[in-house]
Structure 1
Amino acid sequence: MPTWTGAWPEAEAERYLAEATVPIRLACRTPSGGLWMLSLWYRYDDGAFHCATGANADVVEYLRADPGVAFEISDNEPPYRGVRGSGTVTIEPDDDKVLLETLLTRYLGGTDNELATGLLAADRREVHIRIEPKKCYTWDFSERMADIE
C-alpha cells in the first residue's frame, strides 16, 4: 500500500481517482537512460492504477527495461488539484481486452465508436500496465484559486 501525504486523506484521494476522467501522466526512463512521458487512460482499483496500451508500444519496452515510474493525475482546469507519486510497473497481456473495454467505457461512454473499433480489432495485441504506487502526494489549490473558478 502506498504512503499518502498532502492535502487530502487517503479516502478522499481514492474518491478523486475513481471519479476523475483525465489521463494519468506517466514518466519513465528509456533503455538509453533518457526520460519519457506519456498519457494513458487508467482505472484506480485495489490500490493500483490499471492502464492499457498496444503490446508493441515503445513504452512497453521502456517499462520492461526499468519498471520505476512517476505519475500525475490532475485537473486540467483551475482550480488545480490532483495526485502525484512514484511506483513500479508490472506488465501482462490483456488478451481478451477486458481492461481496454473498461477504459473505453470509462472515458468514452462505450465502445460504439471508430476509435474503439480500431483498438478492439482482433489482430491488435494489448497489454495491461499495472502501476503499484509506493508514494502518493495530493494537492488542492481550490481555496487559493477560489476567485478564478
Structure 2
Amino acid sequence: MTEFRGPWTAGDVENFLQETTIPIRLATTRPDDSLWVVTLWYRYRDGAFECATQADADVVGFLRNEPSVAVDVSTNRVPYRGIRGNGTATISTDGARETLRDLVVRYLGDTDSSLAKRLLDDEREEVRIQIEPATVYSWDYGARMRDVSTADAD
C-alpha cells in the first residue's frame, strides 16, 4: 500500500502522473553500491509506474541485482511541481511490447515516426519495468511562484 505525503491527495497524484508527459527519473544501485540515475518514459497504471527498455540495458541488470529504487517526476518550468518517492521494481517480459507501444504513443503521439518504428522493431527484445511505490511525496510551488509562473508548466 502506497503512503502519500505532501499537499496532493492520491487522486491529485494520479491525475498529475496521467496528464504529465515528462520522463520519470529512476535512481538505482549499481553492483558496486554506487548510485545511478536513468530517465525513462513511464505510464502510471493501477497505482504503479510502468516503463519499457531493451532487455540488455544496464539498468535492467542493476534492478535485477537490487530492486529498491527512488523515483522523481517533476516539471522543469515554473511553477515547479511533482512527486518523488521510493519503491520496488520488478522486471518482466510479460506485457513489454504492449507497454512500449503505449509509451511511444503517449510520448510521441503516434507510431509513424522513424524513432517510433525503430523502438517498435520486432528484432528488439524489450522488458517491462514495474515500480510499486511505497512512499510518494508531492509538492507544488505554484502559490509561492505565482508571480514568475509560465502558462505551460511541463
Q: Compute the TM-score of the two structures, normalised by the length of structure 1.
A: 0.97
Question: Which residues in structure 2 correspond to 1:35-54 (within 5 Å)?
Answer: 35-54=35-54
Aligned residue pairs: how many?
A: 149
Confirm or deny: 8 A CA contact 1:89 1:132 kept in the other structure. Answer: yes
Quote how far apart the aligned CAs of 1:76 are. Answer: 1.0
Alignment of 1:1-149 (within 5 A): 1-94=1-94, 97-149=97-149
4+ residue runs over 4 A deviation = none
Residues 11-43 of structure 1: per-residue CA shift (max 9 Å, x gap): 111110110000000001001111100110000
The verdict on how the C-alpha distance between 1:110 and 1:60 changes in structure 2, with shifts beyond 3 A counting, is: same
Unaligned ranges ≥5, structure 1: none
Change (3 A) 1:131 1:80: same
Match of 2:152? none
Output the CA distance in 2 between the equivalents of 1:52 and 1:94. 11
Alignment gaps of 5+ in structure 2: 150-154
Percent of paired sites with the same residue:
50
Which digits, 9 at most, give the CA deviation of each residue in 1:100-123, with x for residues without a partner? 000000011011011111111111
User: How much is the aligned-residue C-alpha RMSD, in angstroms?
Assistant: 1.0
Q: Bigger CA drift: 39-48 or 94-103?
A: 94-103
| CA spacing shift, 1:45–1:96, aligned 2, 3 Å | closer
